[in-house]
Structure 1
Amino acid sequence: MISPASILGSQSPKLKSLPPLSLYIHIPWCLKKCPYCDFNSHAIRGEGSQAPEEEYVAALIRDLEFALQDVWGRRLSSVFFGGGTPSLFSAKAIDAILTAVRTLLPLEHFAEVTLEANPGTFEAQKFADFRAAGINRLSIGIQSFNAQHLKALGRVHDDQEAHRAVEIALKNFDNINLDLMYALPGQTLEEAQADIEMACSLGVTHISAYHLTLEPNTLFHRFPPNLPDDEQAAAMQEMIEQTTASHQYRNYETSAFARAGKESRHNMNYWLFGDYLGIGAGAHSKISFADKIVRQMRTKQPKEYLSKANAAESLIQTQQILTPADRGFEFMMNALRLTGGFETAVFQERTGLPVAAVQKQLDEAEQRGLLVHDNHRIKPTVLGRRFLNDLLQLFLPETPNPG
Structure 2
Amino acid sequence: MLKLPPISLYIHIPWCLKKCGYCDFYSYVHKGSIPENNYIKNLLKDLESDLSLINQRTIKNIFIGGGTPSLLKVSSIKNLINGIKKRVKVSKIAEITIEANPKKIEYQRFEGYKKAGINRFSLGIQTFNSDLLKKIERTYDKYEAIKTVEKIKKINNNFNLDIMYGLPNQSLENALSDLMLAIKYKAPHISWYQLTIEPNTVFYFKKPTLPNEKIIFQIFNQGDKFLKKSGYKKYEISSYSKSKYKCKHNLNYWNFGDYLGIGCNAHGKITQKNGDIIRLVKNKNINDFINGNYLNIKKNIAKKDIPFEYFMNSFRLYKPIFKKKFKERTNINLIDIKKNINKALTKGYIKETKDFWKTTKKGKLFLNSLLKIFLD
Query: 1:222 — aligned with what?
Result: 205
1:290 aligns with 2:276: no
Q: Determine which of 232, 244, 247 is the counterpart of 1:261.
A: 244
Structure 2 counterpart of 1:303, one-letter code: N
The SS at the match of 1:394 is: helix
The 5-angstrom pairing of residues 3-402 of structure 1 reads: 16-45=2-31, 49-122=32-105, 125-291=108-274, 292-307=276-291, 309=292, 313=293, 315-396=294-375, 398=376
Structure 1 counterpart of 2:243, one-letter code: A
Deviation digits for residues 102-153 of structure 1 (CA, Å, limit 9, x no counterpart): 1111111211000000011555652111001110000000000001110001
Query: 1:8 — aligned with what?
Result: none
Cα deviation, residue 72, structure 1:
4.2
Structure 2 counterpart of 1:80, one-letter code: F
Structure 1 counterpart of 2:14, one-letter code: P
Q: Is the 8 A contact 2:197 2:203 kept in 1?
A: yes
Q: 1:76 and 1:121, CA in 2 relative to 1: closer, same or farther beyond 3 A?
A: farther
Structure with more contact order per residue of length (Cα contacts < 8 Å, sep ≥ 6): 1
Q: Determine the C-alpha separation between the residues in 2 that align with 1:44 and 1:320.
A: 32
Segments of 5+ residues of structure 2 without an aligned counterpart are none
Q: 1:123 and 1:37, CA in 2 relative to 1: closer, same or farther beyond 3 A?
A: closer
Q: Determine the C-alpha separation between the residues in 2 that align with 1:121 and 1:20.
A: 36
The SS at the match of 2:11 is: strand
Root-mean-square deviation over aligned CA pairs: 1.3
Cα deviation, residue 318, structure 1:
1.1
Q: Determine the C-alpha separation between the residues in 2 that align with 1:129 and 1:339.
A: 36
TM-score (norm 2): 0.97
Q: Determine the C-alpha separation between the residues in 2 that align with 1:157 and 1:355.
A: 51
Q: Determine the C-alpha separation between the residues in 2 that align with 1:288 and 1:60.
A: 22
Structure 2 counterpart of 1:91, one-letter code: V
Q: Determine the C-alpha separation between the residues in 2 that align with 1:231 and 1:339.
A: 25
Q: Is the 8 A contact 2:7 2:259 kept in 1?
A: yes
The SS at the match of 1:248 is: coil
Q: Determine the C-alpha separation between the residues in 1 that align with 2:345 and 2:105.
A: 48
Q: 1:162 and 1:64, CA in 2 relative to 1: closer, same or farther beyond 3 A?
A: same
Structure 2 counterpart of 1:31, one-letter code: L
Q: 1:121 and 1:273, CA in 2 relative to 1: closer, same or farther beyond 3 A?
A: farther
TM-score (norm 1): 0.91
Q: Is the 8 A contact 1:271 1:334 kept in 2?
A: yes
Q: Is the 8 A contact 1:88 1:121 kept in 2?
A: no
Deviation digits for residues 246-282 of structure 1 (CA, Å, limit 9, x no counterpart): 1111110000001112111100000011000000000
Q: Is the 8 A contact 1:44 1:51 kept in 2?
A: yes
Percent of aligned pairs with the same amino acid: 39
Deviation digits for residues 284-314 of structure 1 (CA, Å, limit 9, x no counterpart): 000100221011100001122112x2xxx4x
Structure 1 counterpart of 2:359, one-letter code: P
Structure 2 counterpart of 1:65, one-letter code: E
The number of equivalent residue pairs is 375
Q: Is the 8 A contact 1:185 1:227 kept in 2?
A: yes
Q: Determine the C-alpha separation between the residues in 2 that align with 1:305 and 1:231.
A: 46
Q: Is the 8 A contact 2:13 2:263 kept in 1?
A: yes
Segments of 5+ residues of structure 1 without an aligned counterpart are 1-14, 399-403
- Greater than 2 Å deviation, 4+ residue runs: 121-125, 229-232
